[in-house]
A and B are shown apart, each in its own frame.
Chain A
Amino acid sequence: MTVASKPTSLHHRSSYWTVARRDSLAGFLFIAPQLIGIIIFVLIPLGLVFWYSLHEWNVLANTFTYTGSANYQMLLEDPNLPAVLGATAIFSVGLVVFNLSLALLLALLLNQKLTGISIFRTLFFSPVVVSLVAWTIVWGFLLQKNGGINGMLLSVGIEGPNWLREPVTAMISVIVVQVFKNVGLNMILFLAALQGVPKELYEAARIDGAPRFKQFRRITLPLISPTIMLTSIITIVGSLQVFAQIAVLTQGGPGVTTTVLVYYLYQQAFQFHFFGYGSTLSIMLFAVVAVLTFAQWQMRKRIVFYES
């Protein structure tokens, strides 16, 4: 745009700044904060984390040397890695299965016509708004060897285990604590989906004499499949980010039985100051998230009955 003499510049201005051009400018301005933010806080760090992963970074000696694939070699030879990946897989699978089935069960219950049902809905949802670390601390307190849960078990004559200090029960504990904290979210999403299923379909099925279980399998499940897809993606990706619960409840122990990938990454980078190796683990976490999301995206075509 040229700024020549005044009248022509005004003329130019109006002819250059057509509605479409002004809209383009507005569009860029509207997305600018988000786009610049993504570049600075996501894309550049993603590039950097890959760059770091190719280096040996000694914080104390303040050296940063290119080592090529040495960190990846180290990753493959890391004696802890199988256990860490195993813990991550068990945690994620356990969490998703338990979370989704409990969420669906609760949603089906809350979808019944019962007086006072909204009070139950509120109570089942309430842990979602309780501060995560507060919730985790109470459960940690309850799960102590002489804590509330074992106290109650003992009153009925059962001697409970030291929940957080034995491999199997520690893993179950971190899964269960996380599920009760957040299952309310998926429950609400399922409830909304259930309420969206046209009632006439059940009516028709009943006239045809279809038993309740069959109605559930043939009508309910297919019609809420987009929600099942959505919640499973959110829950799986969320399960890979779990950190606070592990840090507060078990610190990854006993041994490395509850050391999930994010916690291992944190330990390597911020406790042992292996920033190069920590970055390699970050790349691996990224790869896991990307592969899982992509796989689910592909599976959606086979599983999801229709697109909402």
Chain B
Amino acid sequence: MKADLSPRTKMFLYGLMCVLLIPFVFPTWWMVTSSVKPISDIFAFPPQLVPQTYDWTTYSKVFELQPFVTQYWNSAYIAALVTAGTMLVSSMAGYAFARIRFPFADAIFMVVLLGLLIPSEVTIVPLFQMFLKAGMVNTHWPLVLVPIFGAPSVFATFVMRQFFISLPVELEEAARVDGLGRFKIFTRIALPLAKPALASVAIFTFLHSWNLYLEPVVFLSSADKFTLPQALTQYTDAYGGPMWNIQLAAATLTALPVLIIFIIAQKQFVEGLAHTGLKG
């Protein structure tokens, strides 16, 4: 046990942490408050930490200038599909690599792990050509298929494998004696026990898909197909300069829901990810 800290040390630590917090917290505050300032105030000097007058018309412009609702839906459904798909693919593959003995298992595992070595940026040119040939450019297929089955899901498979290795094997052996097949052992015994690992896979997969930027920029070209990260940068004036207040309003609408969910469920979030790290 560590000795209790003296009051003076405590004050120092609190003070230090508050100063360190500024670059973590202030940008979000500045984003939200600037988004409701009239355009004349957003670059005002001295900076207004709290808006002095409010202008809500920015928010209606977010929806007027671009099909923002559609774009929001695009991001949300793609992230949901990718998350569900990755959980399925990675838990099955992870389970098989951890538990089932089949020919060439080690060799196949090494091949799959190659995905960790090859970031999707390396293969973006041929992927674009392949999807172009398949007629899938400017559709959401590349943004759904590549993350679920390609390189991004390998890390999830690895996490699931590590988790299943750590599970006691006795439960499954008892089920085998009772005559359960592999598939039922997987769905009825192993998978329900894997909830913590699945939760962390779900969290980082969702965030990865939600943040994806290079792939949408490469694959999508019409505004009603855009995902949110791409849409945010499209609020520009006639000279290509950013319309700051509108970008900030759209950014607020993008960031706040996830932030609120995080604050409500922060314990699961943080512990889930820490868990991943320890096992990974």
Contact = CB atoms under 8 A, between A and B. Distances in A.
Interface string B171-207: 0000000000111001000000000000000000001
Contacts of B92: 30-31, 33-34
A192 B124 CA distance: 35
B137 to A, nearest CB: 12
Interface stretch (A66-74, A82-90, A145-153): A145-153
Report which residue of A45, A127, A308 has the largest number of chain B beta carbons within 10 angstroms of its beta carbon: A45
Contacts of A27: 96, 100-102, 105
Interface in A166-219: 176, 180, 184-185, 188-189, 191-193, 196, 199, 202-203, 206
B151 interface: yes
Nearest to A19: B176
A145 B207 CA distance: 31
Interface string A276-296: 001100110110011001000
Given A45-B127, A123-B21, A293-B117, A266 B214 contact: yes
Nearest to A274: B125
Interface stretch (B51-59, B62-70, B254-262): B254-262
A141 B261 CA distance: 25
Interface string B236-277: 000000101001100110110011011100100110011101
A145 B122 CA distance: 35
A154 B95 CA distance: 58
A36 interface: yes
B126 interface: yes
A289 B118 contact: yes
Report which residue of A131, A192, A247 has the largest number of chain B beta carbons within 10 angstroms of its beta carbon: A131
A142 interface: yes
Interface string B90-108: 1011011100111101001
Contact of A41 (B1, B20, B123, B274): B123
Interface in A81-123: 105-106, 109, 112-114, 120-123
Contact of A38 (B28, B88, B149, B233): B149
Contact of B89 (A34, A40, A125, A308): A34
B80 interface: no
B62 to A, nearest CB: 13
A76 interface: no
Contacts, number: 315
A31 B146 CA distance: 16
Contacts of B103: 24
Interface stretch (A6-14, A236-244, A298-306): A236-244
A231 B80 CA distance: 27
B232 interface: yes
Contact of A134 (B31, B122, B266, B280): B31
Given A109-B13, A138-B30, A155-B46, A240 B119 contact: yes
B218 interface: yes
Given A180-B24, A248-B233, A26 B182 contact: yes
B23 A180 contact: yes
A216 to B, nearest CB: 12
A130 B252 CA distance: 9
Report which residue of A37, A189, A193, A202 has the largest number of chain B beta carbons within 10 angstroms of its beta carbon: A37
A49 interface: yes
Contacts of A112: 2, 5, 13
14 contacts: A31-B96, A31-B112, A34-B112, A38-B154, A42-B150, A121-B270, A129-B259, A131-B251, A132-B229, A151-B44, A189-B273, A191-B274, A278-B125, A279-B125
Please name the 5 residue pairs, one residue from A and one from B, whose CB atoms are nearest each other, closest first. Answer: A37-B149, A27-B102, A41-B150, A30-B96, A134-B251
Interface of B: 1-5, 10, 13-14, 16-17, 20-21, 23-25, 27-28, 30-31, 34, 43-47, 88-90, 92-93, 95-97, 100-103, 105, 108, 111-112, 114-115, 117-119, 121-130, 145-146, 148-151, 153-154, 157, 181-183, 186, 207, 210-211, 213-214, 217-218, 228-230, 232-233, 242, 244, 247-248, 251-252, 254-255, 258-259, 261-263, 266, 269-270, 273-275, 277-278, 280
Given A49-B125, A278-B125, 14 more contacts: A34-B149, A37-B89, A37-B145, A46-B122, A52-B129, A125-B270, A127-B28, A131-B229, A140-B242, A151-B43, A155-B47, A185-B273, A269-B128, A289-B122
